[in-house]
Amino acid sequence: MGKPNKMEHPKQGHDDTRKEVGYAFLHGAGLSPDIWNEVIGTLTAPCLALAYPGHDRPEAARHALTLTDYVAELKRQLEAWETERFVLVAHSLGGVPALRLAAELPDRVAGLAAVGAVVPRAGGSFLSALPWPKRLLLSVLLPRTGTRPPASAIRSGLCGDLPPERADVIVRDFSPESVRVYTDRAEAPVPNVPKLYVKLTRDREIAPALQDRMRSNLAPDDVRSLDTGHLPMLGDPRGLGEILRAFRAGLATV
């Protein structure tokens, strides 16, 4: 299984570390936990960047993985983490497993921050959250072609506002997910915890209008905007860090 990126800052004692609310990060499709490093560097609370299963295996070995397999591996990493409560920070595709994790770990999830994330209605799938024409097209294409977009699509969609050298790294390191992560139903409701939606106003992968639909599905307590493309953790890590710090600070008053 993949190795999570664990960053925790020194505390006065073991009990303090356990009791402090941390951040658990879920990245988008094809990326890695390291994508969060610059944001984590702006935070002082315990942080865990979760790793999806199978990214340390050949691509063919990931084909059979289900959404349940993904959630089980993510849950294993969280159960091994000593921080008792945390904000789930879910980016893009990460919004789907985040719903399951919140349902399965209700006593540990203190809040949910959806960053340009897909949030299906009524426990649906990633595909079910998309507009009908795109949903139909992808439901036909994904089983045949897999989940690796062409390099040109990664550059224009995921990396639309990033400099070419950063886009080169994303294209080079892109690791496609299992098809079933897109097609399996989350089978979990929106959690009854404080929620934040971070809208990415220059996103070419999940357009702002589609993000508005995801925000409506989430029914968040707050909405913030960042003037970035699909990867704000690279486009504006400091700005995203400030939003996450403010959300966490407000949990005690919700």
Domain layout of the chain by residue ranges = 5-253
**Distance (Å, rounded) from C-alpha 25 to C-alpha 244?**
11
Work out the burial of residue 91: count CB atoms within 10 Å of its CB; fewer than 13 is exposed, 13-18 middle, 19 or more buried.
buried
pTM to 2 decimals? 0.91
Distances 86 to 18, 48, 107, 212 between C-alpha atoms, Å: 10, 9, 10, 25
Locate 6 and state its tokens: 């664990």
Confidence band (pLDDT; 50, 70, 90) for 18? low
pLDDT surpassing 90 at residue 83: yes
CATH of domain 5-253: 3.40.50.1820
Q: Which pLDDT score, from 0 to 100, does residue 25 have?
A: 98
pLDDT surpassing 90 at residue 87: yes
Tens-digit pLDDT profile for residues 197-242: 999 999 999 999 999 999 999 999 999 999 999 999 999 999 999 9
Of the candidates 104, 112, 133, the one whose C-alpha atom is nearest the C-alpha of residue 195 is 112
